[in-house]
Amino acid sequence: MTTVNTKYKSAPLTLPLIISALLFSTAACSNQSGLSTNTDYKEPKTSATKSPANADKPEFTTKTVATFDEPWAMTALPKMNNKAPKFLVTQKTGELFIVDTATGAKTAVTGIPNVAYGGQGGLGDITLAPDFATSNNVYISYAEAGTGSDSNKFGAKVIKAKLSGMNTSTPSLQGITPIWQQVPKVTGQGHYSHRLLFSPDGQYLYISSGERQKKDPAQDMSMNLGKIIRLNADGSVPKDNPFVNNSNKIASQFWTMGNRNVLGMAFDKKGKLWVNEMGPKNGDEFNLIEKGKNYGWPLVSNGSDYSGAPIPDHDTRPEFEEPKITWTPVISPSSMTIYSSGTHNDFPAWEGDFLIGGLSSKALVVVSTDNDTASERYRYDMGERIRSVLAVDGQVWVLEDESDSKLLQLLPK
């Protein structure tokens, strides 16, 4: 395991940024009842194995493509005739846009379901169906409000829909089909997670399901909160899921458990699934996800509770999977993408590395992996909270967080 500590130095990461990460990490880690400014934390046992100040660190400038209000996720549409890519971009408030990265033009997509906007909730992730080239289907996650006895309760939901009129001025979602939802709906509007990712072969849909700031559901086999879910593309349960023979049908969805708030997921070139996860107060994590494993939340964490109460470290409970990297101070990780060269090769030094957006850290963090180990390689001060990162065909885009946020293309120097 690699642990990044307070003595960690990075040329672009200035002292004010470190102080900001300490003081405001709770906003990113979603203590909805109020912000904590207690900066006490456990001393890490080791330091980073690689310095982000390496001499070969690539540098870049940024180009503004478009602006958004509270964007959350983006994905690329298939490229046409070597033209600049078009993206699908979601906004938490319930809007979906097709964005031409060549011109910055944004076209609104209609037919979006009603979303429960507030706190960390709203319109969430979007990804293309594996057969998008023929079906035009997309998968979308969002926060949904309950009704009846579930009034004033909320949960994440995933749908499949056809993106119709994609190359017209009036695109829309058609034929919406429910795929999955969090059970049960609960009070509060934090830790939905609801990140979507298809396996490299296109057969399985992985969904990160946050524990909704309730802690205990992450270890509860009767709830699908605090888990990573694995389904077939139609929402059915694969027969080889680790808990498929459990008498509780909810548990058959689980791929892993003991997860807190997974906001980034990506497969490496060997087909291994890696995720980033927000810790409580300190102790953000980078984890290798393996079938049937328990990652320990809330029984262990390399952070501490917002109340100041200590939580046992991972190494005190070897039955739980230990993170490959923990960050103290936090980076508040958001989305994650893996860099691979293609038609373009803007950043050859990043080949095979994971690019992670940082919220409270206002950073782009580059992480490398080697079989089952990982380490932070580079860190870039972006000056703004980074909500989403996307590598496409050897080029890289980042999306800032909150209102008046820029979609930026990174251009190598």
Phi, psi (5° rounding) for residue 291?
A: -50, 125
Half-sphere exposure (CA, 13 Å, Cβ side) for 141? Answer: 27
Sign of CA dihedral 43, 28, 90, 175: positive
Give residue-wise pLDDT tens across range 28-78: 443 333 333 233 333 333 333 344 456 689 999 999 999 999 999 999 999
Paired tokens of 272 = 């291994």
Paired tokens of 171 = 């695109």
pLDDT at 23: 39
Under a CB-based contact definition with an 8 Å cutoff, are residues 48 and 13 in contact? no
pLDDT at 352: 97
| 81: confidence class by pLDDT, cuts 50, 70, 90 | confident
| 308: confidence class by pLDDT, cuts 50, 70, 90 | confident
Taking the whole predicted model, whether its pTM rises above 0.75 is answered as yes
Q: Which of 191, 194, 314, 344 is catalytic?
A: 191
Report how far apart, in Å, the C-alpha atoms of 22 and of each of 52, 283, 363 are: 20, 12, 14
Distance, CA of 23 to CA of 409 (rounded, Å): 29
pLDDT at 173: 98
pLDDT at 48: 38
For the cut 60, the answer to whether the pLDDT of residue 27 exceeds it is: no
Give residue-wise pLDDT tens across range 148-200: 999 999 999 999 999 999 999 999 999 999 999 999 999 999 999 999 999 99
Give the chain's mean pLDDT: 89
Give residue-wise pLDDT tens across range 394-411: 999 999 999 999 999 999
CB atoms within 10 A of CB 333: 30
Instruction: Look up 344 and say whether it is catalytic.
Output: no
pLDDT at 22: 38
pLDDT at 147: 96
For the cut 90, the answer to whether the pLDDT of residue 260 exceeds it is: yes
For the cut 50, the answer to whether the pLDDT of residue 12 exceeds it is: no
Helix/strand/coil percent split, the chain, to 5: 10, 40, 50
Give residue-wise pLDDT tens across range 196-225: 999 999 999 999 999 999 999 999 999 999
> What amino acid is encoded at 24 in this protein?
F
